[in-house]
Chain A
Amino acid sequence: MVDKKLLGRENALDVIDKVIRWSPGDLTEVILRSEFTALTRFTKNYIHQNVAESDYRVTVRVIFGKKIGSVTTNSVDDDSLKQAIEDAAAIARLQPPNEDFEGLPEPEPLPDVNCFVPETASFSAKDRAAAVKEIVEIAKERGFEASGAFSTGSAELAVGNSRGVRAYNASTYAALSTVMAGEDGTGYAEASGRDVRELRPAEVARVARAKCEMAQNPVSVPPGEYEVVLEPLAVADLLDYLGRAGFSALAVREGRSFLTGKLGQKLFDEKFNMWDDGLDPRGFPVPFDLEGVPKRKVVLVENGVAKELVYDYATAKKEGKKSTGHGGFRGWGPMPTNLFMGEGTATLEEMIRATKRGILVTRFHYTNMAHPLKVLITGMTRDGTFLIEDGHITKAVKNFRFTESALRVFSTLDMIGREAVRVERTVVPAIRVPAFNFTGVTEF
């Protein structure tokens, strides 16, 4: 079943066929996206923003030899499509050949992955408001104020090219997050998935509320090197940087990655395993990339050893390899998109018990890369930062700034949580790290 607003496989592929038929290029590529999304936002226990959007976008690439022109339009009528083709052809003819262009992929069998949940597609503003009401009531029971967002939507992605690629996928998306605020501390929780029924608003609210209760009356602890227990939200942030900074085949070839010349070496703790898998339903499955190439599982780190990289069509062809289905990020090269970190055996309680004097971090805020080769990252803690003393959480602390290398984190971690959870597109467990650099502290 497909949501009534979506074009559907037949109509979407019909648009692609038409564009390819009308194009004068030696090669042509078409990407069609449709999006029907809605988001309800709340603050201080009431809904303050509530929005919806319907859009279609078609990107046409017309190629003469190695000259490429690209046009995107959000009108899908025949006249607009013809104009887009004409414009793309005109700008392609204007330019010198791109010697790095390696052509377009050939069709391959695509995995059959169901990404569409009708209950998510039909979830209404009224349904979202009911969920928000539930969250707000749970906050009010303790005199807290809940803020957050609940988004649901459906989308289509169709990719085709003149070499015969025809890929179509309809998907749904739901995400819910809430920050609960008390007098002088906040707590956070979130949930996301393709199926809105898995989100359980009351459960999310109770987790945020429990954090918020613990987070009151924070004390200021001096910055420095501490043992840390990082909950999955914080781990996902660091893992995403590690994946993007290191595991792109283009970055490695250009010397921009810490893996240049080091593939096959043991760079991480042997308990550390990381892979990219766009087909695993525990994450956000998607059958193919923006070049229409099927997603393949790529083992990035196995028992601490850096194993494989992600490829798009161009980088793979240059090295005589096969694309892993991580393409379409024009100019940026391939990138990991669906990261997983392997579970360990510890519970969160065991990690806290193993900590003499350390910090428990719920999540990070506004992180940024200070040095890509060192994967040195800075950012703040937020919404639940606690002091651990002699194996117990003793008090809430004011938020820290950290400046730390993700390479060091994943090469020195000594405990890994036994349960990996979905944090948007990344699936990670909690970890314990014996030494983590907090370089500053703020006033709350």
Chain B
Amino acid sequence: MKELTKKALDVVKEMGASYGDIRIVETRTQTIRTRNGNVDALSSTRSKGFGIRVLYDGAWGFSSSSTLTEDEVVRVAKEAVEIARASASVKRDKDVVLSPVKPVVSKWTSPVKIDPFSVKTEDKIALLLEADRLMADRKEVKVRIGSMACQREDKIFASTEGSYIEQTKIETGAGIEATAADRGELQRRSYPTSFGGNWATAGYEIVEKMRLLDHAERVAREAVELLTAKQCPSGVMDIIIESSQLALQIHESCGHPIELDRVLGQEASYAGTSFLTPEKLGTFQYGSEEVTITADATLPGGLGSFGFDDEGVPAQRVTIVDKGIFKNYLTSRETAHELGQVSNGAMRADGWNRIPIIRMTNISLEPGDWTLDEMIKDTKEGILVATNKSWSIDDKRLNFQFGTEIAWEIKDGSLGAMLKNPTYTGITYEFWRSCDAVAGKDEWELWGVPNCGKGEPGQVAHVGHGASPARFRRVKVGVGKW
């Protein structure tokens, strides 16, 4: 592969590019899905190709191909420069400048205890079908789904600045869900969380740790119980958010608005911009003193962990919000330069055929010193919400609304009745400023979100979020007419 990367970089240099990089990426994925007692999908996917990114006359060009031959590498390298030339015809008043990074020659492999590809497919199927059987007893449960997937990505990055980095990353995920329907109502429960379960940069050990079979019967039972549960009330009240829903809250209302490309307008035409404009850096009160948020690409097992980003910048841990004050963005070499900084390594591409853009790493709420029990006991009137069902947020990431699968009343310090269709809404900074309790390390969990969409053409990133349950005061819940 070294010859091919050298060829690509030589061609772009000869054509006058001031910078060039090439990524050769091979991804192998196995997906298993069971549905109502059958293996609904058992598939294996391989995708291999390369992408070449160049700066020419101060503007970007990128081209990519799945045909890994020298001739095609030369063609694509030339095309990338041609495209950059076209970009330069509608250029900014100043050239793109990359903040410096030390060239690196390195190898990185994610730690794995049990290689998920070495586990017998029959055993994986048997586990999901047994979970399915345990969910099958109730006639109201119409759809039972089990899913498991593993992915191996082998990637080479080489740049005209002298970096040559080889990385191998293995990810595994699994989950179960039951959908119940009866008499005009439809409800779903999932475990460990919704939309495909939990994921990690890890091996099959994460699936074993989930103990899916221990939760299957409860998942089906709660889906059925929700059909006749009380409707979540409407009003302003205290809410306690369980860890996996809080992970998505962090994702939407902190993870995206701190992406510096969004802040600088690079996503304006699609996903939008950000309320966290540069003059707020270092001074803006994003949350209460209880709120400290970090971006940590070095977190063991985090779905957003890696050795180096797709610009060859080493993985880092950065404090984003320090005791409520907004301190840092996620940056790239180009965007960091705009603020007189160097990149903190958040550029990732969704495969060989996409350019790197700023993506979340593992964005986590640091643990506090409460317990969930203490929070419930300390709450006079409110609700506890769990497991995401729907999400929506405006294009500057201010006005959000979430729906969760389930909630429970809290009255006078005790958990009460189950509630269906819970929703809550707010303005990002008002909401985080209302946080007055965060549970400690023992209840802190790391969640993998494998479906973060961004960019045009669309890219899907795998990112991570750590959180323990937290309490927020006077939040609007039960939105809309039910």
Contacts and interface: CB of A to CB of B under 8 A. Distances in A.
Contacts, number: 273
Nearest to B75: A54
Contacts of B186: 255-256, 371-373
Contact of B392 (A147, A331, A368): A368
Interface string B62-84: 11111100000000100110111
B394 A437 contact: no
A269 interface: no
Contact of B47 (A74, A371, A376, A379): A74
Contacts of A367: 392
B86 A40 contact: yes
A53 B38 contact: no
B181 to A, nearest CB: 4
Interface string A85-113: 00110011011111111000000000000
Interface in A45-64: 45-57
Interface in B262-278: 264-266, 268-270, 272, 275
Contacts of A376: 480, 482
Given A37-B457, A49-B60, A366-B393, A255 B423 contact: no
A369 interface: yes
B42 interface: yes
Contacts of B65: 53-55
Given A128-B86, A147-B268, A147-B269, A368 B390 contact: yes
Contact of B456 (A39, A99, A126, A145): A39
A103 to B, nearest CB: 15
A293 interface: no
Interface residue range, chain B: 35 or more
B39 A443 contact: no
Contacts of A69: 42-43
Contact of A330 (B41, B121, B125): B41
Interface in A221-263: 254-256, 260
A87 B44 CA distance: 8
B48 interface: yes
Given A254-B181, A373-B184, A399-B394, A177 B269 contact: yes
B45 interface: yes
Nearest to A70: B43
B120 to A, nearest CB: 8
Contacts of B181: 254-256, 260, 373
Contacts of B6: none
B62 A403 contact: no
B231 to A, nearest CB: 11
A334 to B, nearest CB: 15
Nearest to A100: B38
Interface string B392-408: 11111011010100000
B98 interface: no
Contact of B121 (A45, A54, A91): A91
A380 B46 contact: no
Contacts of B121: 91, 94-95
Contacts of A179: 268-269
Contact of A370 (B86, B122, B403): B403
A51 to B, nearest CB: 4
Contacts of B108: none
B76 to A, nearest CB: 8
Interface in B166-202: 179, 181-182, 184-186
B53 to A, nearest CB: 9
Contacts of A369: 390
A91 B117 CA distance: 13
Contact of A126 (B45, B86, B393, B395): B86
A177 B268 CA distance: 11
A98 to B, nearest CB: 4
A125 interface: yes
Interface stretch (A129-137, A161-169, A282-290): A129-137
Interface stretch (B15-23, B89-97, B151-159, B203-211): B89-97
Nearest to A441: B399
Chain B CB count within 10 A is highest, among A49, A98, A331, for A49
A145 B92 CA distance: 12
Interface string B406-431: 00000000000000010101010000
B268 A56 contact: no
B66 A75 contact: yes
Interface in B1-56: 33, 35-49
Given A96-B125, A365-B394, A370-B480, A47 B44 contact: no
A271 interface: no
Nearest to B120: A94
B184 A403 contact: no
B481 interface: yes
Given A151-B457, A440-B401, A442-B394, A331 B37 contact: no
Contacts of B270: 149
B87 interface: yes
A117 interface: no
Contacts of B421: 370-371
Given A42-B90, A330-B40, A72 B396 contact: no
B366 to A, nearest CB: 27
A219 to B, nearest CB: 16
B295 to A, nearest CB: 22
A442 B43 contact: no
Contact of B37 (A88, A99, A444): A99
A382 B401 contact: no
Given A69-B42, A98-B40, A129-B87, A51 B480 contact: no
B401 A378 contact: yes
Contacts of A55: 49, 65-66, 353
Nearest to A35: B353
Contacts of A265: none
A73 B179 CA distance: 33
Nearest to A186: B268
Chain B CB count within 10 A is highest, among A47, A145, A403, for A47
Contacts of B64: 51-54
A51 B355 contact: yes
Contact of A50 (B40, B86, B423): B86
B101 interface: no
Given A98-B38, A99-B38, A380-B394, A401 B425 contact: yes
B135 interface: no
A331 B177 CA distance: 14
A357 interface: no
Nearest to B31: A70
Contact of B60 (A50, A88, A177): A50
Given A87-B44, A149-B456, A373-B186, 16 more contacts: A43-B264, A52-B80, A70-B42, A71-B45, A94-B42, A95-B39, A95-B121, A366-B394, A371-B482, A373-B185, A378-B403, A382-B272, A439-B401, A439-B425, A439-B479, A444-B398
- Which 4 A-B residue pairs are closest in the complex by CB-CB distance? A403-B480, A125-B86, A255-B181, A70-B43
10 contacts: A40-B87, A43-B269, A48-B87, A52-B79, A73-B45, A87-B44, A92-B42, A254-B143, A373-B184, A399-B394
Interface of A: 37-57, 68-75, 87-88, 91-92, 94-101, 124-126, 128-130, 132-133, 136, 145, 147-149, 151, 177-179, 181, 254-256, 260, 330-331, 365-374, 376, 378-380, 382, 399, 401, 403-405, 437, 439-444
